[in-house]
Structure 1
């Protein structure tokens, strides 16, 4: 009976995050042994322009990525894509000498800051990206993340 309850809870949890049992098996198996595809995104630039470079990302569900975020500007910026973050499995975020595991919804990068976000998109969709600092989104610091099957 305990085994049945545990299986039921696992299936309910997987349903809540949008993963299938097959995806969960891949996450714990061979997928984590595969090298992550590295993508670099700059939050702003040295001219302090309010934009993401690039501002359009195309990803595949079930594939492992290493998102290298940099902030070369003199202003702090946020990488905010809450709906996207809800539909991915985060392996880790590394910044400086800190490694963070678990659900991540937003990253703040201070001037000259860098972070690595390793994750696997779990389902397809179109997601908006923005810097949530007042005035930055309105000035054009937006983007799109597209995840396909």
Structure 2
């Protein structure tokens, strides 16, 4: 009896693990992500523009560097299939929750020097690895 239960549990683990592994893999006909510069400074507006993409279950780039006091514009693009958002922890800054293929933009003044986490607040996404850091110098 115990052997049967162990076999059933083992099979369930393999099936569930395979599901999550394949769920994050791009399907046939999926387009590769568009390469964009990570950060650019617009001299006319004085805004540092940063492009961040989110997928199951990561951000690219996972680390962002800015200077304290500068105006920052983050364009968040969901290149995954599941809904995602980007939350800057402790700063009260968050994008809308968006579906795959959509974008949202947040603008803010970089806070005082330090390292701040950003993450996807959809339940389970942060614990699956969907987080990064904003380093303010």
Identify whether the pair has TM-score above 0.5, normalized to the shorter chain. Answer: yes
Residue in structure 2 matching 1:40, options 37, 41, 51: 51
Whole-angstrom distance in 1 between the partners of 2:117 and 2:45: 28
Equivalent pairs counted in the alignment come to 94
Whole-angstrom distance in 2 between the partners of 1:114 and 1:58: 21
Mapped pair 1:127 → 2:127: no
Greater RCO (Cα-Cα under 8 Å, separation 6 or more): 1
Larger radius of gyration: 2
Name the SS for the 2:85 alignment partner: strand
Match of 1:77 in 2: 84
TM-score, length-scaled by structure 1: 0.57
Whole-angstrom distance in 2 between the partners of 1:135 and 1:54: 20
Match of 2:133 in 1: 144
Matches for 1:49-60 after TM superposition, within 5 Å: 49-60=56-67
Task: Give unmatched runs, 5+ long, in structure 1.
Answer: 1-32, 87-103
Mapped pair 1:109 → 2:98: yes
Say whether the 8 Å CA contact 2:85–2:94 is kept in structure 1: no
Match of 2:70 in 1: 63
Whole-angstrom distance in 2 between the partners of 1:130 and 1:36: 23
Whole-angstrom distance in 2 between the partners of 1:40 and 1:106: 13
Deviation at 1:122, TM superposition (A): 3.0
1:94-145 residue CA offsets vs partner (Å, 9 max, x unmatched): xxxxxxxxxx445322221111212211311111111121221111111111
Task: Give unmatched runs, 5+ long, in structure 2.
Answer: 1-43
1:70-110 residue CA offsets vs partner (Å, 9 max, x unmatched): 01111101212231x24xxxxxxxxxxxxxxxxx4453222
Match of 1:29 in 2: none
